[in-house]
Every structure is written in structure tokens, then in C-alpha cells.
């Protein structure tokens, strides 16, 4: 019997309940890796949830090391670390999550103690916050690989953009500090995983020579998102689909209503706007005062609602990360009208199920053109599904990554 190499996964992100894109990404990587590696998952959880988290992880891994959370141990530990983390953030420009992950929950000393007596050929880290632990394991001859998820300083900058009351000098200082530390941290790994092509190119230019790189876009199990486009006709529906607990997504939903849909309504005043996603705040729910607007809130199976939309609007701003919701809706066969930023670096062939524009006005005009031509919508529906099958299926993304990873890891050992 062939002995599988042992792979340590170091992550504060759990692969469940898979409501968030980062959870889905961890889940699919584990599913793909398990065939070729013996997986050991190192994480933390509140004391009362340790057993439950461990049992769930063992459905995807061979071994689960679930440490009790230091931060949630008591009200006193919360207060102590919240205070210390705030001071850390003010002095360094980093986030509280950097302090909590890298200095407290999965610090080098704590992680080393947790895996004492175990040998690993490789270690996979989710996010760069625990880079000092990666440096320690790398010094022991373990091949270390980081899934960046995003270039986080870019999303950090965008968060400040949504808070205009913060002085520009303070924002610039914090973003500069965060960027500097993040890019230095990349060099503590042997390899990086980038989520889109632009971030892959950027990382190549800002790391030391000799690093390995993998391009792994957000794929999905397309059997869970079967082609099922069946647009309602009376009235027709256009949707915005995102988690609405995010300030960024809330602003995009408002942009759909205030700037894109008025262009559509000039040509088709009866068309409905459906805002689909969990945790909508009151000011988003209030849009339903317009009888053409529907705000769904959480839906167990969004597929069942989305399939009845004529098309999807995605006016995202910011050239970082990956819009996995775009992949999901295109898998269902829904054409997408998006901003240029929304799919920047994602590798889509435009005009093949997805159209990209710079302004809300242009997006509204394209949505109206599609709504005016049923045959064109049908062609674009099939093109959307075809593009996802070719580029963003589980096999085309995570499956391909594992094949490349096995080869690189073997070459490193030799």
C-alpha cells in the first residue's frame, strides 16, 4: 500500500457551513486533496464547540487538531486580548485579526506544541496571518504553501473608502503599513496560491526569486448548480445576488436600484429588481416600498429563486478577489452584466454569457438590450453555462491544482 504524504492545514476558517466563499474554498480544497494526501487540520474553536468542530472536520480530514480558543475562554480573556489587539492594530497598522490569528490562537509556539511528534511533508495555510508559524515550519524542511484568498491590502483599502470620515493621511498610513507587512509575509512561504490572474502576476513581481505559484480560481461543484434557467415572463426579473451583511455589497445593491435600474425602467418599466442574499439591513429592506423591488433575505436554496431571473447585475468596485457568486449564477445559465472591476483577472471571455462595462449607465443599457431580445438572452444563457463548465468546475480548478501541487511537492523533496 502506498503511504500518502502528510499535509498539515493551518486555518482559522472552517470548511463549514459553507455559507461564505472562503468556507467553500477551504471545503473544496480538502475534498480535492484527500485522495492524494493524509490530511491533518489544525484550527481553534470555543471550548464548548471543540468536539462538534472536530467531528465535522473528520468527515473531510484524516485527523483534526482543534485547540480551545484562548480569546473566547472568558470575558476577561476577551477584554485582555481585545485591548492588546487594539493597541497592536494602532501601532502596526494591521488588523485585529492579524493579532488574534498570528499572536494568540495559532502563534508559532502554540502551533509547534500542537503538532509536536508529527512529521509533515507539506503545510497549507489559509490567509497570511500565521506567516510566522509558516516560517518556523519551513525552517524544519516542510514545504509551506499559502492560499492568499485575496491580496488583502486591496480589500483593506476599499474598507476605508467606505468610511469617508476617516482622515486620508490615516487611511494611507494604515494601508501602506498593511501592504508592506503582507508582501513581506509572502516570502515566508515556499509557494503561493492566487485566486485570480491579476493577483498571480502581482505576487510574482513582489516576492523573492525561486518561489512556486499556483493559479486556483474559485471553482464549484456544478452538479449543485445545474443548468436550470427558466426566466419569469410576467413580469420579468433582474437580480442582484450577494451577502448583504457586507457594507460593500450593500452599496452595490443601492447602485443597482439608484443608477442601473432607472436606465432599464426607461425601456421596461414593469421589470422587477430582486435583491437576493442574507442579512439585508433595514435600509435595503426599505427599497421594497417600490413595488417593483423584492428583497428576499436568507434563502436555503438560492438556485430555486435565481433560475427565474432574466439576468444578473454585478456592479462590484475594486480589483481584488474573486466573485464566486458570478460563477454560481452562470452555472445556472443566467447571463451577467457586470462592472469591469467585478471580473478583473478572473479569466472570463466577455460577451460569452457575461458582459462588462465601466459605468452604471452602460450596464443599464446592456441589460435593456438583452431584455429586448429573447433569442439573444437564450444564446447567452447557454454560453454562460458552457464557460463555467470549461473554466470553473471543481475538476478544472481544485482538481487541477492538486495535480500540480503533487508534482511540485515531490520535486521539493527530491
Same domain, 260 and 197: no
The percent of residues above 70 in pLDDT, for the chain, comes to: 98
Residue 160 lies in a domain: yes
pTM of the model: 0.88
Number of domains in the chain: 2
Tell me if residue 215 falls in helix, strand or coil: strand
Count the alpha carbons within 13 Å of 269 in the hemisphere toward its beta carbon: 1
Q: Which residues contact 28 (CB under 8 A, 6 or more apart)?
A: 219, 220, 221, 394, 397, 398
pLDDT tens digits, 77-135: 999 999 999 999 999 999 999 999 999 999 999 999 999 999 999 999 999 999 999 99
pLDDT tens digits, 355-368: 999 999 999 999 99
Amino acid 309: pLDDT:
98
Q: How far apart are CA 88 and CA 97, in angstroms?
A: 10
Q: Which residue has the cell 480573556?
A: 77
Cα distances (Å, whole numbers) of residue 197 to 16, 151, 339:
27, 12, 17
Residue 296 lies in a domain: yes
**227 or 19: whose pLDDT is higher?**
227
Amino acid 323: pLDDT:
76
21 pLDDT tier (thresholds 50, 70, 90): confident
Average pLDDT over residues 383-403: 96
How high is the mean pLDDT of the chain?
Answer: 94
Q: How far apart are CA 238 and CA 309, in angstroms?
A: 5
Residue 291 lies in a domain: yes
Helices (H), 280-399: 282-285, 303-306, 324-332, 360-371, 374-391, 394
What residues are paired with 9 via a beta bridge?
A: 41, 124
Amino acid 413: pLDDT:
66
Q: Is the pLDDT of residue 407 over 90?
A: no
Cα distances (Å, whole numbers) of residue 132 to 11, 34, 115, 125:
14, 26, 15, 11
162 pLDDT tier (thresholds 50, 70, 90): confident
Amino acid 75: pLDDT:
96
Helices (H), 256-372: 261-267, 282-285, 303-306, 324-332, 360-371
Rounded to 10 deg, the angle between the 400-413 and 21-33 helix axes is 60
Residue 42 lies in a domain: yes
320 pLDDT tier (thresholds 50, 70, 90): low
Amino acid 82: pLDDT:
97
CATH number of the domain enclosing 326: 3.40.50.2000
Same domain, 269 and 369: yes
160 pLDDT tier (thresholds 50, 70, 90): confident
Q: Is the pLDDT of residue 137 over 70?
A: yes
Residue 230 lies in a domain: yes
Cα 231 from chain centroid (whole Å): 28
Residue 34 lies in a domain: yes
Q: Is the pLDDT of residue 319 over 70?
A: no
Residue 274 lies in a domain: yes
Same domain, 134 and 251: no
For 118, other C-beta atoms within 10 Å of its C-beta total 12
For the chain, first and last CA: distance in Å? 21
Let me know: does 93 contact 178? Beta carbons within 8 Å: yes
Amino acid 1: pLDDT:
58
Nearest of 106, 71, 74 to residue 85 by alpha carbon = 71
Q: Which residue has the cell 512561504?
A: 189
Q: Which residue has the cell 466573485?
A: 323
Let me know: does 85 contact 71? Beta carbons within 8 Å: no
Same domain, 229 and 215: no
Same domain, 255 and 348: yes
Helices (H) and strands (E) in the chain, counts: 18, 13
Cα distances (Å, whole numbers) of residue 323 to 27, 106, 329, 385:
17, 29, 11, 16
Same domain, 25 and 69: yes
Amino acid 408: pLDDT:
82
Same domain, 191 and 227: no
Average pLDDT over residues 150-162: 87
Same domain, 53 and 20: yes
Let me know: does 208 contact 312? Beta carbons within 8 Å: no
Helices (H), 308-357: 324-332
For residue 228, give its domain range. Answer: 222-391
Average pLDDT over residues 131-145: 97
Same domain, 50 and 151: yes
Q: How far apart are CA 74 and CA 322, in angstroms?
A: 36
H/E run at residue 241:
strand 237-241
Same domain, 214 and 250: no
Task: State the chain's maximal CA–CA distance in angstroms.
Answer: 69
Same domain, 127 and 61: yes
C-alpha cell at 4: 500518502
Same domain, 72 and 168: yes
Q: Is the pLDDT of residue 321 over 60?
A: no
Q: How far apart are CA 195 and CA 207, in angstroms?
A: 16
Residue 1 lies in a domain: no
**318 or 138: whose pLDDT is higher?**
138
Amino acid at each position: 500500500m502506498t503511504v500518502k504524504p502528510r499535509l498539515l492545514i493551518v486555518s482559522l476558517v472552517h470548511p463549514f457551513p459553507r455559507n461564505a466563499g472562503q468556507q467553500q474554498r477551504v471545503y473544496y480544497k480538502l475534498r480535492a486533496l484527500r485522495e492524494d494526501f493524509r490530511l491533518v487540520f489544525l484550527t481553534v474553536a470555543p471550548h464548548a464547540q471543540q468536539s462538534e468542530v472536530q467531528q465535522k472536520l473528520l468527515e473531510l480530514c484524516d485527523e483534526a487538531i482543534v485547540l480551545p480558543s484562548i480569546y473566547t475562554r472568558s470575558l476577561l480573556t476577551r477584554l485582555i486580548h481585545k485591548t492588546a489587539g487594539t493597541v497592536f492594530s494602532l501601532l502596526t497598522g494591521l488588523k485585529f485579526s492579524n493579532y488574534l490569528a498570528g499572536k494568540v490562537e495559532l502563534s508559532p509556539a502554540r502551533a509547534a506544541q500542537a503538532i509536536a511528534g508529527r512529521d509533515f511533508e507539506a503545510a497549507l495555510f489559509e490567509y497570511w496571518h500565521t506567516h510566522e508559524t509558516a516560517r518556523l515550519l519551513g525552517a524544519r524542511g516542510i514545504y509551506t504553501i499559502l492560499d492568499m484568498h485575496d491580496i488583502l491590502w486591496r480589500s483593506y483599502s476599499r474598507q476605508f473608502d467606505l468610511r469617508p470620515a476617516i482622515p486620508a493621511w490615516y487611511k494611507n498610513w494604515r494601508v501602506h503599513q498593511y501592504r508592506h507587512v503582507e508582501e513581506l509575509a509572502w516570502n515566508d512561504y515556499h509557494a503561493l496560491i492566487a485566486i485570480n490572474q491579476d493577483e498571480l502576476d502581482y505576487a510574482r513581481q513582489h516576492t523573492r526569486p525561486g518561489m512556486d505559484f499556483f493559479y486556483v480560481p474559485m471553482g464549484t461543484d456544478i452538479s449543485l448548480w445545474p443548468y436550470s434557467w427558466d426566466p419569469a415572463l410576467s413580469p420579468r426579473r433582474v437580480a442582484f445576488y450577494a451577502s448583504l451583511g457586507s457594507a460593500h455589497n450593500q452599496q452595490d445593491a443601492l447602485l443597482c436600484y439608484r443608477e442601473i435600474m432607472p436606465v432599464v425602467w426607461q425601456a421596461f418599466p414593469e421589470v422587477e429588481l430582486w435583491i437576493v442574499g442574507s442579512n439585508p439591513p433595514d435600509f435595503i429592506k426599505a427599497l421594497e416600498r417600490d413595488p417593483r423591488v423584492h428583497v428576499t433575505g436568507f434563502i436555503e436554496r438560492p438556485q430555486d429563486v435565481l433560475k427565474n431571473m432574466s439576468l444578473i447585475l454585478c456592479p462590484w468596485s475594486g480589483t481584488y478577489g474573486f466573485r464566486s457568486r458570478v460563477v454560481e449564477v452562470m452555472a445556472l445559465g443566467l447571463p451577467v452584466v457586470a462592472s469591469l472591476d467585478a471580473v478583473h483577472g478572473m479569466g472570463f471571455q466577455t460577451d460569452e454569457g457575461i458582459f462588462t462595462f465601466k459605468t452604471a449607465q452602460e450596464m443599464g443599457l446592456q441589460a435593456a438590450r438583452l431584455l429586448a431580445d429573447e433569442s439573444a438572452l437564450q444564446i447567452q444563457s447557454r454560453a454562460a453555462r458552457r464557460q463555467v463548465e470549461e473554466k470553473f468546475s471543481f475538476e478544472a480548478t481544485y482538481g487541477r491544482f492538486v495535480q500540480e501541487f503533487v508534482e511540485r511537492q515531490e520535486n521539493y523533496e527530491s
